[in-house]
Chains A and B, each alone.
Chain A
C-alpha cells in the first residue's frame, strides 16, 4: 500500500469530502492558501474550492465555532479549524452550551453536523498555553463526539466519518503525529471508519494497554520493549474515539488479559483514563481480580524547559513502568 504522512492523509480526507458533498465548508485562522493552515493540513483547499467554501477567519474563536454551529443547523457541514486546542477555552460556550445541546434541547428537531479540527499537545517546548491535551474537558459534555486518531489511515478514515456524522465532532490531531508516515488506502476506496469503535492495534494475552492519539504509538513501542525485556505480551487497544468510547472492545480485551493500563498524555487527574478504569472496575469486579494502572501527565501546567516538560508528560517509559507495576500486583493477587 502507498505510504503518506498524517498531515497528507487528513488533507486528502478534506479534499475528498469537499468534492463529494458541496455542503462541506472549511474555515479557520490561516487555513486558506498560500498559508494552507499553520500545519498545512488545508493546503490547496481554497485554491480548488474557492472563497465561497474555504475561508480565512479573523482571530475570533468564539465566532468560528459559533458560525460553525449556525451553519450546521441550517444546512451546511462545516469543518472549522481552531489552530491549537488550547484556544478552545475561547470557544467553550458555543461548543458545550450550543453545539452539544441544540439537538437535545430542540427535542430532536435538528442535528448539528459540524467538525472542529484542532491540533496541539506536548513535546515541543511550547509551554503552558500551547501544549495541553484537553479531551477530558469535552468528554464530560454529553452531545459531543471526540475523535483522536493515532495513524494516517485512521486519521483519514475518521475525518471522513466525522464530516459525515450528524453530530458535533471535535477532531483532535496530536501535533507529534503530523509527520508520521503510514499505509493509507487509495482515494478510490473511500474508506470510512466508524466513530465510537476502538481498534486492537496489537494483539497480546498478558495485559491490555488502552491509549489514543500520540499515546497509541508510545504504547506500541512500550509493548515491543515489554516483549523483549519481560517476555510480556501486551495487547494495545487504540481507542480512536474518546467519547462516546468503545466499552465493548475494551472489556473484551480486558476479559482476555485480566490486567490493564490506560495511558494518555493529558493530565492524569480527572482524565479520561479515570473514566475507563472506573468503568472496567464496575463491569468486571465480580468476575476477576481487577488490576488497572493509569498513566497521565503530572498535575501541573506544561513547563517550557524541555527537561521539565518530559518530567511532567508521560511517554513510553511510564507505560512500561505502569505495566510492570500492574503485573507485579496481579502476581501478588494471584498468590493471595
Chain B
C-alpha cells in the first residue's frame, strides 16, 4: 500500500463489494434454478481484478476465463446487462448467446470470459501485438487460473509475448486448485518462477491483499506501457465456493476453506479504511447500497426479453463486402 492514496481506496473497496454482491446474488439465483447453464463464482478473489483494473484505461483490453465476473465488473461492465446475459436475455451483453462463460464487451476492452482453459493467454499476446504494431499506449491483461499454466497455450503465448516484448500483463489467480487438482500436484515449481523460463519478470503477491496486488500491477502495467515487455504476476488467493455453483468440493478440507475465509480480502480493506478516517457508518451505508444495487440489477436483468427463436443463427458470419474498420 505504499503507493495508494486514501481517497483512491474507497472506490476500490466499492468495486470489491460489488463483485462480492454480484456473485452472491448470482449464486442465489442459480441455486433457485432460474439461471441456465453453469456458474463459477469468484467470491474470495475480489482483490485481484480490482487491484489490477485500478491501472487500466477503458481502451485497455482484458482476456478472462470461466471465473470471470470479477474481471469484467472491475473493467466496467454494468451488472444489469451481466445479469441479463446470465438470464439469457436479449438485453444481455452477448444478447443471450454467450452466458456467464463467454461474457464480452468489446467497447470496454473485454475480449471475454472463456470456456477453454488457457485460451486467453495467446489471445492477450495477440492484442499486445496489435497495440505494438499500431503504436498505441494500450496494454492487455490476461487473467487465468493456476490450472491454465500447464497448457501448451500458456507456454506458447507467454513465450511469444516475451520474445516480442509485447505490452501484456499475465495475471494468474492462483487459488491452489484447478477443479479438484491441487496446484502443488500439477506443477513442480511456483507459478511466478516460471517467468524465468521466458526471461521476463515474475512476481508473486498475496492476492487477498488489495494493496499488494495494486502495487505489483502498477509496476507491471507501467512496464508494459513503456514498451519493456510482459510480466507474469501470480496472485495467491482462494475460491470460497466449489468449482462451480453446486460443486460440493469434496477435494478440499473444511479447515482449509475456513482458514482462507479468515484471510478474506474484503474486511482487510475495510479495516484499512477505518484506520484512515473513514467512518464505519459510511462503510455500512456503502455495503447496503451495493447489496441493493445488485438486487435491483438482477431484477432489471430478468426483465429483458428472451431471444426470438427465429434469430438463432444470426451472427455466425459477418456480412461480406463491408470494409472492416
| A is bound by B | yes
Q: Interface residues, chain A, CB within 8 Å of chain B?
A: 29-30, 32, 34-35, 38, 56, 58-63, 86-87, 90, 124-130, 298-301, 303-308, 310-312
Main secondary structure of the interface of B (DSSP, over half): loop
Judge whether B96 and A308 touch: CB under 8 Å. Answer: yes
The reply to whether B181 and A30 contact each other, CB–CB distance below 8 Å, is: yes
The 4 closest A-B pairs by CB, nearest first: A129-B115, A58-B150, A304-B99, A125-B36
- Taking the nearest CB of chain A, how far is it from the CB of B315, in angstroms? 9
Does B265 count as interface, using CB distance less than 8 angstroms? no
Is B321 located at the chain interface by the 8 A CB criterion? no
In whole angstroms, what is the CA distance A13 to B317 when docked? 43
The reply to whether A299 and B316 contact each other, CB–CB distance below 8 Å, is yes
Report whether B96 and A303 are in contact in the complex, using a CB–CB cutoff of 8 Å. Answer: yes
* A230 CA to B96 CA, complexed, in Å: 38
Known A58-B181, A124-B37; judge A306-B88 contact (CB<8 A).
Answer: yes
Q: Residues of B contacting A35 with CB < 8 Å?
A: 179-180, 250-251
Instruction: Out of B96, B250, B313, name the residue touching A312 (CB < 8 Å).
Output: B313
**B220 is an interface residue with CB less than 8 A from chain A:** no
CA A299 to CA B311, docked complex, whole Å: 13
Whole-angstrom distance between the alpha carbons of A58 and B313 in the complex?
36
In contact, A60 and B306 (Cβ under 8 angstroms): no
Give A34 to B88 CA distance when docked, in angstroms: 34
Using Cβ atoms and an 8 Å threshold, which residues of chain B touch A62?
A: 152
Chain B's closest residue to A38 (CB) is B179
B38 touches A126 (CB 8 A): yes
Q: Which residues of chain A are within 8 angstroms of B180 by Cβ–Cβ distance?
A: 30, 32, 34-35, 56
Collect the chain A residues with CB atoms within 8 Å of residue B117's CB.
Answer: 59
B102 near A126 (CB under 8 angstroms)? Answer: no
- Shortest C-beta distance, A323 to chain B (Å), equals 23
Return A129 CB to nearest CB of chain B, in Å: 3
Q: Which of A35, A60, A62, A304 has the most CB of B within 10 A?
A: A304
- Who on chain A is nearest to B186 by CB? A58
B116 touches A129 (CB 8 A): yes
Chain B, range 154-192, C-beta contacts under 8 Å to A: 178-181, 185-187
Chain B, range 226-250, C-beta contacts under 8 Å to A: 250
Within 8 Å of chain A (Cβ to Cβ): is B266? no
Q: Which residues of B come within 8 Å of A, CB atoms?
A: 36-38, 88, 94, 96-99, 101-102, 114-118, 147-148, 150-153, 178-181, 185-187, 250-251, 306-307, 309-313, 316
Considering the chains assembled together, what is the distance between the CA atoms of A4 and B240 in angstroms?
35
Q: Once the chains bind, are B37 and A298 in contact (CB under 8 Å)?
A: no
Q: Is the CB of B181 within 8 A of A301?
A: no
- Is there an interface contact between B115 and A86, defined as CB atoms closer than 8 Å? yes
A171 to B102, CA, bound (A): 28
- Between-chain CB contacts (< 8 Å), 9 pairs: A58-B150, A63-B152, A90-B152, A127-B97, A127-B98, A129-B116, A301-B316, A305-B99, A312-B312
Q: A59-B118, A130-B115 are in contact. Are A308 and B312 (CB under 8 A)?
A: yes
Please give me the residue from chain A that is nearest to B154 by CB atom: A59
Residues of A within 8 A of B307 (CB): 303, 305, 307-308
Instruction: For the complex, give the distance between the alpha carbons of A56 and B147 in Å.
Output: 13
| Given A127-B99, A311-B312, A312-B313, A56-B118 contact (CB < 8 Å) | no
- Min distance, Cβ A270 to any Cβ of chain B, angstroms: 14
Q: A127-B98, A303-B97, A305-B96 are in contact. Are A311 and B309 (CB under 8 A)?
A: yes
A115 to B280, CA, bound (A): 61
Please state if A59 and B36 are interface contacts (CB–CB under 8 Å).
no
Q: Which residues of B contact A312 (CB under 8 A)?
A: 312-313
Set A30, A60, A124, A304: member contacting B98, Cβ < 8 A: A304
Q: Which residues of A contact B94 (CB under 8 A)?
A: 304
Asked if B102 and A56 make an inter-chain contact with CB atoms under 8 angstroms apart, the answer reads: no
**Using Cβ atoms and an 8 Å threshold, which residues of chain B touch A310?**
309
Shortest C-beta distance, A315 to chain B (Å), equals 14
Residues of B within 8 A of A126 (CB): 37-38
Contact status A300-B313, CB under 8 Å: yes
In the complex, what residue of chain A is closest to B38 when comparing beta carbons?
A126
Query: Chain A residues with Cβ under 8 A from B96's Cβ?
Result: 303-305, 308
CB distance from B322 to the nearest CB of A (A): 20
Q: Find the residue from B116, B150, B250, B306 having the highest chain A CB count within 10 A.
A: B116
State the CA gap A169–B140 with chains docked (Å): 41
Q: How far, in angstroms, from A310 to B36 measured CA to CA in the complex? A: 13
Q: Are B313 and A299 in contact (CB under 8 A)?
A: yes
Across the interface, A56 reaches (CB within 8 A) one of B38, B181, B187, namely B181
* B86 to chain A: closest residue by CB: A304
Check if B312 sits within 8 Å of A303, measured CB to CB. yes
Which residues on the A side are within 8 Å of B306 (C-beta)? 305, 307
Measured in the bound complex, the distance between the Cα atoms of B36 and A187 in whole Å is 38
B116 touches which of A58, A87, A299, A308 (Cβ 8 Å): A87
If A126-B38, A129-B102 are given as contacts, then 16 extra A-B residue pairs at C-beta distance below 8 Å, sorted by A number, are A34-B180, A58-B147, A59-B186, A63-B152, A124-B37, A126-B37, A128-B97, A128-B102, A129-B114, A298-B313, A300-B313, A304-B37, A304-B96, A305-B306, A307-B88, A308-B309
Q: A56-B185, A307-B309 are in contact. Are A300 and B88 (CB under 8 A)?
A: no
Query: Which of B97, B114, B178, B316 is A308 in contact with, Cβ under 8 Å?
Result: B97
Q: How far is the CB of A145 from chain B (nearest CB, A)?
A: 26
Task: List the A residue with the shortest CB-CB distance to B103.
Answer: A304
Chain B residues with Cβ below 8 Å from A298 are 312-313
Measured in the bound complex, the distance between the Cα atoms of B181 and A34 in whole Å is 10
- List the B side residues contacting A32 at CB < 8 Å: 180
In the complex, what residues of A have CB within 8 A of residue B181's CB?
A: 29-30, 56, 58-59
Give Cα distance in the complex from A311 to B306, angstroms: 13
In the complex, what residues of B have CB within 8 A of residue A127's CB?
Answer: 37, 97-99, 101-102, 115
Q: How far is the CA of A300 from the CA of B6 in the complex (A)?
A: 51
Q: Within the assembled complex, what's the spacing in Å between the Cα atoms of A258 and B115?
A: 44
